[in-house]
Amino acid sequence: MSAVFITPAEAKALSERNALVVDIRGSDEWRREHISAARSVPLESLNAAAFSADALSETDTVIFHCQSGMRTEKNQQQLQASVYPAKALIVQGGLNGWKAAGYPVITDRRQPLPLMRQVQIVAGALVFGGTLAGASLSALFYIIPAFVGAGLMFAGLTGWCGMAKLLAVMPWNKRAG
């Protein structure tokens, strides 16, 4: 059984009628920005036990969203199973769609950017800088983008990212109060 996709307008209307809104993004993403009515239940901790205190029945509705809709679409079977027998719905476009529709979100700019965005920024800066330095100063600088590319391939193949581990312990990534 495939999940039912709903528009942000439908999600907003249902949330105002006590539907449970669940954000499956990581807790760091949720702390930075989220829909006010949304509960944070990261995808990796999503199972039936995550909703056991809610005693969901077939008359309940749970609305799932992520950042863009890709994670919810990809994991729709897991989402449905986690709230069974309740009805599982997925917001088209996720949080981005919600904001594009003009609905408010709670934003805490004191919270750091999500770790994967930080990795993308640093990796991009290193590749760009290394390429510019290699083209204008010395070909030896091309080792920087080669090293970053190899690190990203390793992270993709193994699931372990050294740059993410390093960035996670940086002072700006300590949780803001």
Which residues are marked as active site?
66
Contact 23, 34 (CB under 8 A): yes
Contact 122, 163 (CB under 8 A): yes
Q: Please tell me the distance from the alpha carbon of residue 66 to that of residue 34, in angstroms, as a whole number.
A: 10
Region of 169 please: left (phi>0), alpha (psi -120 to 50) or beta.
alpha
Q: How far is CA 65 from the centre of its chain?
A: 9
Closest CA to 15 of 78, 79, 89: 89
Q: How far is CA 177 from the centre of its chain?
A: 21
Q: Respond yes or no on whether the N-terminal peptide bond of residue 42 is cis (omega within 30° of 0).
A: no
Q: What is the DSSP letter of 44?
A: G
